[in-house]
Amino acid sequence: MRKLMVSLVLVFALVVMGMAGDDCPKVNKINSMESTMQSFKDVSPLDFSTIKSAGAMSKKQGTRLEVYLSNGTFTTKQMSSSFVVPIKKKDEFIAVIHFSNGKEKIVPGTYNGSSGYGKPFWAYAEVKLFKGEKGTIVSLGIREGTAVITKLTDNMVCGTFDLKSKTGSKSKGAISGTFNVKLEKSKW
């Protein structure tokens, strides 16, 4: 009987610990996105109310991670391409939140827009938009704010982001929202 009680207490403790650590957002959402870039203005306003496609790709042996949120219907592989932008309609977008940890593997934590290229715990953002035949990628010029990875496993990642860029008091670009997505691994 004593062994059964100890086993039940251990199982209960593991369940409670697992639930306490799962503060993942329940939905993929873009609260806001803006940019002063002309390519962004040309397709504005964009509809952020429905995210149809979402995913993440681990790259560079796990030292980089990209999260994708789109109002179009795309696979994670399509959204991850920097060479072929799959957008064919003016009202579609793919928002990309980049996480980089220098030479170390990505881990849960807070990534800063101010850290800078190649530095640990750096985050930045861009948006893929319709323009001409091939689409375009617009950097949001992120220099401030944070992106947080709340939970990271072999097949999912979740968290929040609130990134921005300003010149003086004027906003140049910004994006905020939440994600809870399937994680895939790049061969590169």
pLDDT, averaged across the chain: 87
Q: pLDDT grade, residue 131 (50/70/90)? A: confident
Q: What is the pLDDT of residue 106?
A: 97
Q: What is the pLDDT of residue 169?
A: 79
Please tell me what DSSP assigns to residue 60: G
List pLDDT tens digits, range 17-66: 344 457 999 999 999 999 999 999 999 999 999 999 999 999 998 999 99
Q: What is the pLDDT of residue 167?
A: 77
- Output b/e per residue, 36-65; b: 16+ Cβ within 10 A: ebebbeebeebebeebebbbbbbbeeebbb
Contact 146, 158 (CB under 8 A): no
List pLDDT tens digits, range 137-171: 999 988 899 999 999 999 999 999 999 998 777 88
- Rg (Cα) of the chain, in Å, rounded? 19
- Rounded to two decimals, the pTM is 0.86
d(CA 72, CA 54): 10
The yes-or-no verdict on residue 16 having pLDDT over 80 is: no
